[in-house]
Amino acid sequence: MNLVFLGPPGAGKGTVAAIAKEALGVPHISTGDLFRENIKNETPLGKEVKEIMAKGELVPDDVTVKMVKERLRNPDCKNGYILDGFPRTIYQADELEKFSKVDYAVNFELDSETIVKRLSGRRICKSTGKIYHIVSNPPKVEGIDDETGEPLIQRDDDKEEAIKHRLEVYDKQTAPLIDYYKKRGLLFNIDASASPEASLKKIEKLAK
C-alpha cells in the first residue's frame, strides 16, 4: 500500500510512521530524515539544504522530487511505502503522480497549541533519528537515547522562531494538499491528538 502522511509539523507523522512501517511491512521514507542524514554526512546535498532547513523553509521542489524518485526505485518499495513529509507542495504532488500511484493520503489533524508543545519538547537521537518527547515520551535516562546511549539533541528547526515560520510555510504551501487529495477521493483524516497506537489501528484498517 502506498501511503502519503500529510499534516503540520509536529503532528506525529514520524512517530506513527515508525510503528506503522513494522505493522504494514513497508519502508518509512521521511524526506526530512533523508535531508538530515545528508547534513550529518556533510554531503553536497546536505550543505545545500542545511541553512534552508534550519530556517524552516522548504527545500526547492526539483531537489526534493529527484531524491524521492530515486528512493522509490529501491526494491524495498515493491510492496508499498509510507512517504512522510512528501509531497509538501502541489508541484511535488503532481510530480509524484507521474511516477507512483498513491493509495491514501493520511492527514494528521492537530491544533496549533498542541503542535507547539510537541515540537518544543521533542528530542531526537542524531544517529538513529528515534523520536522522544520530554513529557509524553521521555527516554529512560533523561537526555540519553535508550538504544545507543548517545545524548539526545533538539532539532535546529524546533527552536521557537523556526517553529513559527514552519507553521506559516505549512499553511501556505502544504495545507492546499488536503483539498488536492480530497478531490481525488484519497484523503483519510486522522485525529492526531489520540495516541500513536490509536492512529495506527485506523491506518491498518485501510490496508484491509
Taking the complex as a whole, the smallest distance from the CB of residue 46 to ligand AP5 amounts, in Å, to 12
CB burial of 88-111 (b: ≥16 within 10 Å; e: otherwise) equals bbeebbebbeeebebebbbbbebe
Task: Please report, for residues 141, 161, 168, 193, the alpha-carbon distance to residue 173 in angstroms, rounded to integers and kept in the order given.
Answer: 38, 18, 8, 23
Cell 532539532 belongs to residue: 155
Task: Fill in the per-residue mask, 136 to 155: x = in contact with ligand AP5 (CB under 6 A), - = not in contact.
Answer: xx------------------
Strands (E), 102-179: 104-109, 122-124, 131-133
Is residue 122 part of the annotated active site? The answer reads yes
35 binds ligand AP5 (CB under 6 A): yes
Taking CB under 6 A as the binding criterion, the range among 21-29, 116-124, 141-149, 183-191 that sits at the site for ligand AP5 is 116-124
88 binds ligand AP5 (CB under 6 A): yes
Residues forming beta bridges with residue 83, ordered by sequence position = 4, 29
For residue 24 the three cell numbers come to: 504494514
Taking the complex as a whole, the smallest distance from the CB of residue 188 to ligand AP5 amounts, in Å, to 16
Q: Which residues bind ligand AP5 (CB under 6 A)?
A: 7, 9-15, 30-32, 35, 52-53, 56-59, 64, 85-86, 88, 92, 118, 121-122, 131-133, 136-137, 157, 166, 195-196
